[in-house]
Amino acid sequence: MCPETNQNQGSSGNRSDPGPPPEPGQLELYFFPDCPYCRKVLGAIDDLGIRDKVVLLDARNDPKKKEALIGLTGKTQVPCLVIDGEPMHESEDIKQYLYQTFGG
């Protein structure tokens, strides 16, 4: 888990710009580029060849994506894979889901 430091974490619920809801079956990955746990998940995505199936959302460098993550989960913990609108944390759980779903 790579929570952002110096972040006032808590349940916000007020997303300034939530954007459109995810499409059914769409996968979204909130990540920090420098997080080793995120890199494990990104490695699994590359290993499986499914970059085209996962929308990558850099929550470190894009304030709107960071706010969306907080609005969804109440915290900035990454990696966070969103499956049909439901968040999943923990890199090992995410990798297991990806390998079970997409083979490998």
**Total residue count of the chain as it appears in this document:** 104
Residues of the domain holding 42? 33-102
56 within a domain of the structure (yes/no): yes
pLDDT by residue for the chain (104 residues), tens only, comes to: 676 544 443 333 333 444 555 455 679 999 999 999 999 999 999 999 999 999 999 999 999 999 999 999 999 999 999 999 999 999 999 999 999 999 86
CATH code, domain carrying 58: 3.40.30.10
For 40, list phi and psi in degrees, rounded to 5. -65, -45
84 within a domain of the structure (yes/no): yes
> How many domains would you assign to the chain?
1
22 within a domain of the structure (yes/no): no
85 within a domain of the structure (yes/no): yes
C-beta neighbour count of 101 within 10 angstroms: 13
d(CA 11, CA 73): 7
pTM: 0.79
28 within a domain of the structure (yes/no): no
19 within a domain of the structure (yes/no): no
CB 81 within 8 A of CB 27: yes
20 within a domain of the structure (yes/no): no
